[in-house]
Amino acid sequence: MSKIEIKSFNLYYTNFHALKDISINIEDKRITTIIGPSGCGKSTLLRSINRINDTIEGVRTSGEINVYGENIYDNKIDVDILRRNVGMVFQRPNPFPISIYENVAFGLRVNRIGSNRWTISETVEKSLKAVLLWDNVKDRLHKSALSLTLEEQQRLCIARVIAVTPRIILLDEPCSSLDPVAIQKIEELMIQLKNRYTIIIVTHNMQQAARVSNDTAFMLFGKLVEFDKTEKIFTNPLKKETEDYVSGRFG
C-alpha cells in the first residue's frame, strides 16, 4: 500500500499555477527523490506534503494528498499533528540558538510528548544515536548547537525531527551547503534511516539522486513528467525531456 497518494493535485500562488495536476504514489520505507530544474515546482510539491505552503498568502489548492489513506487537505485535519507525522528538514541547517540537548527536546516539550525529565533525556539520546551524532556530542549536550559543524548541525536537525516519532521525513536540498565529505556522511545516514522512515528528497544533484534513492520523480514547469525506479529514470527513461535532463543536455 502506498504511504502517500497524490491525486490530481494543483497549487496556485494567487494567479500563478505552480503545480499542475500532479498524481504520484510513494511507497513505504523507500527513498524518493524529486529532480528537475530550478523553478519547476520540486520544493513546492515537497512542502505540500506537510502543508507548509499554507503559511504563504494567496496559496490555494485542489485535488488530494492522502497520507495513510487520509486526505491532509480535508478541513478536519489537525495540521500540527500532520507536521509531527511528516517532519521537514530544510536546505540549510537551522538549529535553534540553544543547547544541543534542548534542540532535540524542543519538539517533545512543545507537543507534550515527554512526561518527565528521564523520558525526554532517553529520547534525546536515542535520537542523537539514530543520526550517529551521540558519540560526538554526549559530553557537550549543554553547549550551544551553533558550535557544531554544518554537517553536525544538519544531523541535529534530523534528530530533532526524529524525536517526535514522524512516519515520513521530507528533505529539501539537505546537502546543498555541505562539503563533499559531509555530503557522503549525510547520504549514508539517509540510507540507514530508510529502514524506519519513508524519505522524500528534493535535490539538484543528479549523482546524489542516483546514489541514494529507490524511486525518482522528474518535474518540469510544474508538471510531473515521469516517475519510476531510479535506475530506469537514469538509464532508460520513457520521456525525451527526462533523458535530456538527466544526461545534462538542459537544466
Residue 91 · residue 42 · CB < 8 Å = no
- Say which residues have a Cβ less than 8 Å from residue 197's Cβ, sequence separation at least 6: 29, 162, 166, 167, 168, 169
Q: Which CATH number fits domain 2-246: 1.10.1060.10, 1.10.3720.10, 3.65.10.10, 3.40.50.300?
A: 3.40.50.300
Place of cell 539514530: 130
Tens digit of pLDDT for each residue in 117-132? 889 999 999 999 999 9
Q: Strand, helix or coil at 58?
A: coil
Q: Is the confidence at residue 228, as pLDDT, over 70?
A: yes
Tens digit of pLDDT for each residue in 28-77? 999 999 999 999 999 999 999 999 999 899 999 999 999 989 999 999 99
Residue 156 · residue 131 · CB < 8 Å = yes
Q: What single-letter amino acid sits at 127?
A: S
Q: Is the confidence at residue 162, as pLDDT, over 60?
A: yes
User: In angstroms, how far apart are the furthest CA atoms of the chain?
Assistant: 57
Q: Is the confidence at residue 113, as pLDDT, over 90?
A: no
pTM: 0.93
DSSP-derived letter for residue 73 is T
Mean pLDDT across 80-101: 93
Q: What is the pLDDT of residue 1?
A: 54
**Alpha carbon distance 251, 249 (integer Å):** 7
Q: Is the confidence at residue 161, as pLDDT, over 60?
A: yes
Residue 234 · residue 52 · CB < 8 Å = no
Q: Is the confidence at residue 251, as pLDDT, over 70?
A: no
**Alpha carbon distance 153, 133 (integer Å):** 10
Q: Which helix (H) or strand (E) holds 105?
A: helix 100-110
Q: Strand, helix or coil at 10?
A: strand
